[in-house]
Structure 1
């Protein structure tokens, strides 16, 4: 890719291994509160529900608190485990507090950021909650790579809304035509960035969704092939 000067990354599911860190967090908080469920069974039910709630959150159809409560409540209902509202609220709070104590990143994350940082300015655009994303970047030793970090709470909207991309470009002093977005969501990251004139790379980390007409990678190290 030519003429690229700025590279914008999503954080969760792109650099920071959300699935692994989330599973470790649930194991910890279930142990703390003596929640007797089989973790894999819970996660298999929870993950699509969480995905659904994040889509609703992006579309402004649920609030942050509704997301945090609703995804847990539906997951426990889905595996027929009765949990009190009080405990769900406590688990929701503890999940956020403990999530950033686990900081696995995807393979080659530091290597590719070291490689790219010599020739590009690097930035983050994330829909994640501000307080959590800052902790993730610091604890996983990623924060020093990025000149700017734009989150949805700063922008007042979530990806794929063009306003968050335009804010990120303004903060980075970057033009769309010289900017590239890399992320795991075809809707939020890829199409959202294309809609404002940026180039994009789809990170299909599960290697499960072949798509036409988009640059697609399944490993971050593949960015060396064209950057």
Structure 2
């Protein structure tokens, strides 16, 4: 399949040093709000990249469930590949692909386990079927058929039908504490605008990068 001719111009907007917020968290909040107000599907979706013990990176999409000046929060099965790789190497990268807005944000930092109280607070807010799904799936483990997964879901639905679904002991979350954040705005003639925030001695510095 030849794809050399698949291209377009990026003309959504520009990003200037004068328009940037001093804090990358303020800049991210602005762009996230604009993404939420756009017609992007799943604007909170982000790619989480981890590195295995063999040095090979792996990526997957998850949903951002909160952020502030302390970091970016997501939840997962603690037996999943991502959680196991984070346990061995806490350095991760997040990527927000807001293609419709000709934008992307890349976050580099350290993933820290969330306290159980925070995990429980979020889990109790999930729809009941999402809670059951967390119980039914041993994420990243081999499974022989879809029918087995469906049957386990129904078994758990029957088991917990008369009460609240408890928090699984194998389910948790992480906060990615960033030390670098890049904001990328597509530009025409491939002259994109890129600004890179880096944390040094507790202070955020920013510089423009060549596209």
Higher strand proportion, which one? 2
Normalised by the length of structure 1, the TM-score is: 0.27
Normalised by the length of structure 2, the TM-score is: 0.28
